[in-house]
Amino acid sequence: MAYKFKITRGNAIMNFSEEYCQSRCELIESDSFGKVLAKFVKDNARRDTTLYQYFHERNDDDVSLTHDLQYTLRLLLVMTDNMIIKSGSPYAKYFDQPKMFKRFVENLYTFWRKLQRYAVVLNREQSGGFQNVHFTSAQAAFEELVLKTYRSIEETALGNKNNVYRQITAGVNAGLVLTNFRTNLPYEYRCLDDIPFIEEVIIHPPFIAYSKRNKRDGVFPEINYNPIEDHKFDPEQWFCYPAKIGSLLAFVYFNVKFMAQGVALCNLFELANENEYRGRKPDLVYVYGYEDGEMNQAFYQDDKNNMLVALLSANDYFDYFGYMKKMCLTLHNVYQLNHGNLPIHGAMVRMKLHDDTVKNIVVMGDSGAGKSETIEQIKGLGAAYIEDVMTVYDDMGLLHIDDNGKVVSSGTEVGAFVRLDDLDAGYSFKELDRSVFLNPDQKNARVVIPITDWEDVVASHHVDLFLYANNYDAEGEPLEFFDNEEEALKVFRAGQRMAKGTTTEYGLVGSYFANPFGPVQRQEQTEPILRSYFDKMFAQGVKVGQLHTRLGIKGNEHTGPKDAAIAILKYLTGENELKKLSGDDSE
């Protein structure tokens, strides 16, 4: 990476390997600061702000104006505004109205903080720049430097003394340690060879990112040609996140213009270390944000190399984390179908009761069906009756057969991509302070948060209850079991739900097996696998039923998942606990 600094789509990327400022003067005089200042002037010019008009009257050339403002800020590190005025400096004209220059300093600082700011460093010996400073310490020092520079200008030079100080994140939002790595990819993928790999991710919470869209649309089609072969990639514009998606290895390449989507992966999929991918061909390859001017979003089965690959174009329409996550899972699911396993669009929770009994529950359903909401209600309501609760997976898992011929389940993600709109105020996963928030002030706001260790995700867990999350039917008990396989398959296969605005669908909709990420595209291949697993579950005594979450019925957004959780807890804990759980204990 030869660049020192770049701004692209609201992302400010600082290459600490090439430039690392350690003093206020270095910061203000740096090319990087000059680029931020030029971007700020351009933004004000575009909006024709009062501030821009004020400066434009004193210097009508934006390039020269940017240079003047940068030098003036440099002077303010050693002089006050009154000293500059009295010195007869040519820059004194910018202080004709002191309040305007003070507004400039505040607005520039705000402009900087509104950028998504990333620091990157290449893990190799450098002749300058970052050098031998530890990356985490370097980010903390940079944070302190930015605050110190801003406050010295604001307070000392301009006389705006503060009584309250807020130690906000003024440096970087996240840092990436990169390495140049020669992959073991087949010849057809040589175009990806020079893209650096992410070796380490450091997030500075709260990490809040905004995208052009806040929902996903449709399904990813399968095509009959390789969408990546013979394409060209500028390694300065791309990073690779080597992800462990369940037991599979995926190389996820993303355009730096979509940094937030790439960085958020660290809270969802386990980052593989070099020992796990050196000399190994990945199972999955995904290219996110390829600038072809098109609307491509398709995957391809590379039979020659035994890989699933996909490409998604760089387009505002796809600027949403759901397009990153769900394509990864589509590739995973098709790979698993090819190996006779059944992908499950659902959540699994492992509960240990006080008598040391372990019960594993899979709740299946499409987006917005109430899976996560019900599980969180179980955690809250069952605290007095359950010794331990662990979410094995929150959105996508699979059924497979263990060495003893038993149906077991494993997951794909160490994190959860959770919709906040319908959740109670007390809803939380563990370690909320490590969350990545996406579009938090909009409908379908999301949080990406780590919830489970990878070892627990990929372990084989027996299944006690296999339930369909029915969010649309107001009739019937919260928990009902099917008497036979055909009755169950009718509900599970239809995959119906009341759409909650998590995608562009509305009203009562359905998708094959509630899983538009593989099974829908491979319905003919999935059907015999689906029947086989339901045969085995009924034969092995797994209780198969449906859970009426009623999440899609107006007025039931909170009571529906709560009633469903109580029904599960009643079933697991027995008759003696009924009154306590339902809150109608006469004592």
Of 109, 118, 110, nearest to 204 by C-alpha is 118
DSSP 37-63: HHHHHHHHHHHT-HHHHHHHTT---HH
452-455: long-range contacts at Cβ-Cβ below 8 A with a sequence spacing of 24 or more?
Answer: 452/390, 452/391, 452/392, 452/393, 452/411, 452/413, 452/414, 452/415, 453/414, 454/244, 454/270, 454/414
pTM of the complete model beyond 0.85: yes
Distance between CA atoms of residues 331 and 60, nearest Å: 54
The two counts, helices (H) then strands (E), for the chain are 16, 26
**Nearest-10 crossing angle of helices 135-151, 98-114:** 160
Distance between CA atoms of residues 88 and 75, nearest Å: 13
Residue type, 266: C
Q: Quick check: helix, strand or coil at residue 372?
A: helix
The CB-side HSE value for 444 (13 A sphere, CA atoms) comes to 18
Sign of CA pseudo-dihedral 174, 180, 186, 192: positive
Q: Quick check: helix, strand or coil at residue 189?
A: helix
Of 270, 300, 264, 263, nearest to 284 by C-alpha is 300
CATH fold group of domain 342-414+453-582: Phosphoenolpyruvate Carboxykinase; domain 3 (3.90.228)
CA distance to 24, 203, 250, per residue, from 329 (Å):
46, 24, 10
Task: Tell which CATH classification among 3.40.449, 1.10.1660, 3.90.1720, 3.30.2020 matches the domain 181-338.
Answer: 3.40.449
Rounded (10°) CA dihedral 138, 140, 145, 147: 160
How many residues comprise the chain? 587
Q: Tens digits of per-residue pLDDT, 481-496?
A: 999 999 999 999 999 9
Q: Quick check: helix, strand or coil at residue 141?
A: helix
The CB-side HSE value for 2 (13 A sphere, CA atoms) comes to 2
Ordered by start, the domain boundaries in the chain are 5-172, 181-338, 342-414+453-582
Q: Going residue by residue through the chain, which has 587 residues, state the pLDDT in tens, using 9 for 90 and above.
A: 789 999 999 999 999 999 999 999 999 999 999 999 999 999 999 999 999 999 999 999 999 999 999 999 999 999 999 999 999 999 999 999 999 999 999 999 999 999 999 999 998 654 344 544 589 899 999 999 999 999 999 887 778 777 776 777 899 999 999 999 889 999 999 999 999 999 999 998 889 999 999 999 889 999 999 999 989 999 999 999 999 999 999 999 999 999 999 999 999 999 999 999 999 999 999 999 999 999 999 999 999 999 999 999 999 999 999 999 999 999 999 999 999 999 999 999 999 988 889 999 999 998 778 887 888 788 878 877 788 889 999 899 999 999 999 999 999 999 988 877 655 544 444 455 788 989 988 888 888 989 899 999 999 999 999 999 999 988 889 999 999 999 999 999 999 988 765 565 667 888 999 999 999 999 999 999 999 999 999 999 999 999 999 988 888 888 899 999 999 999 988 755 545 555 444 44
Extract the tokens encoding 187.
């010849």
Distance between CA atoms of residues 231 and 249, nearest Å: 22
Q: Tens digits of per-residue pLDDT, 60-94?
A: 999 999 999 999 999 999 999 999 999 999 999 99
Find all residues with CB under 8 Å of 16, minimum gap 6, and list them: 119, 120, 121, 129, 130, 135, 138
